[in-house]
Amino acid sequence: MSKVALITGITGQDGSYLAELLIKKKYKVHGLIRKKIKKIKNLNYTIQKKIKLHYLNFENYKDLKKLITKINPDEVYHLAAQAYDGHSFENEFYTFNTNLNFTHQFLSVIRKINPKANFFFAGSSEMYSKNIKQKINEKTNFDPKSAYGIAKVASHYLVKNYRDNYNFKASTGILFNHESPRKDEKFVLKKIAKSVARIKFGLQKKIFLGNIKSKRDWGHAKDYVYAMWLINTQKKASDYVIGTGKLNTVENFLKKAFQYVGLNYKKYLKIDKKLFRKKDSNARVANPKKIQKNLKWKRKYNFEHLVKDMVESELNNLKFSSFNEK
């Protein structure tokens, strides 16, 4: 009999890749989203036919309870969040409501309706201080510097509380930066990939960026959703840091992206001081030894694969658009 999975944030980068992975593994997949969307760009038509989408006001506890009772999921993946950290300073009340309060309601409902279900919560590297020099593991102290990070830490402790006090199989995957062609355009690597393709096609002359020396521990989203599945299918729940353990600069991605299309980035780059983040964090790098050792997690995509995947996707999008215009 097929397992039943419920994913919040199913239309986003991680949720869509996770849905595809679970369908390949013969799951029945349900997705929970806030409102009806005319076009779900991250889920192709074939995948949409194989999943069931549910539209729900996340603040409505009664409707959430009814839905969970109906679906009765074996595995829950809670990925929905106000995900852009730069915005959390501007609207902290919305951030807390979306990233903390719904997590609490969700945990409460799942535990009461189906206490045997496995629950995965998506944490973030923003839960840690920007001044940590050593690699971050599961024992590193939290010290968030934004409403987003604070909400993630609080949610993590809720997950841990439910695991410790109710014997509920709830885990947190602390995700470091991960990208893909499906990343939102507000994020810098997506902006670069799209600009490179447009410049190659003669549709754009320059790319305007902020601090290109900024460093991140960047991986590919496909590797990270596989890690989520590994974590949420264990007999014993636990928390895991998920990252590459390596740092790369924005400039390195920029250079490799332009090289992929045979161009030199220095001819097209314009530094714009207005694009520097006011509270940009220093480099944080993961120590993923626990998940590598305990769950045998191995990445399939390195940094060069990520660059190629993102740039090729944007090139293909433009080719498809130009073909349709003819």
CATH superfamily of 4-178+218-242: NAD(P)-binding Rossmann-like Domain (3.40.50.720)
Predicted confidence (pLDDT) per residue in 184-205, tens digit: 888 999 999 999 999 999 999 9
Considering only 92-106, 123-137, 218-232, which range has the smallest mean pLDDT?
92-106
| pLDDT given for residue 131 in this prediction | 78
With a pLDDT cut of 70, the percent of the chain lying above it is 93
User: Which of 15, 137, 31 minimizes the C-alpha distance to 83?
Assistant: 15
Question: What is the topology classification, in CATH, of domain 185-216+246-279+302-325?
Answer: UDP-galactose 4-epimerase; domain 1 (3.90.25)
| pLDDT given for residue 23 in this prediction | 97
Note the Cα 229 to chain centre separation in Å.
Answer: 14
Q: Where are the alpha helices (DSSP H) in 210-302?
A: 221-231, 250-260, 289-294
Mean pLDDT estimate for the chain: 91
CA trace torsion 130, 135, 138, 142 (10° rounding): -20
In angstroms, the CA 84 to CA 98 distance is 12
Predicted confidence (pLDDT) per residue in 263-292, tens digit: 999 999 999 988 887 666 568 999 999 999
pTM here?
0.93
Predicted confidence (pLDDT) per residue in 8-18, tens digit: 999 999 999 99
**pLDDT (mean) for 121-138:** 92
In angstroms, the CA 116 to CA 114 distance is 5
Q: Which two tokens stand for residue 26?
A: 């013969």
Predicted confidence (pLDDT) per residue in 297-321, tens digit: 999 999 999 999 999 999 999 987 6
DSSP 139: T
Predicted confidence (pLDDT) per residue in 72-109, tens digit: 999 999 998 876 555 555 677 777 877 888 999 999 99
- Domain definitions of the chain by residue range: 4-178+218-242, 185-216+246-279+302-325
Strand arrangement, sheet containing 240-242: 51-55, 28-33, 4-8, 75-78, 118-124, 170-175, 240-242
In angstroms, the CA 49 to CA 80 distance is 21
Predicted confidence (pLDDT) per residue in 50-74, tens digit: 999 999 887 788 999 999 999 999 9
Note the Cα 88 to chain centre separation in Å.
Answer: 16
Scanning the structure block, which residue is given the tokens 């590797």?
A: 223
The answer to whether the beta carbons of residues 246 and 35 sit under 8 Å apart is no
Same fold, 4-178+218-242 and 185-216+246-279+302-325: no
Q: Report the phi/psi class of residue 26: left, alpha or beta, with left for phi > 0 and alpha for psi in -120 to 50.
A: left
Catalytic machinery residues? 124, 126, 148
Residue 326: pLDDT band (50, 70, 90) is: very low
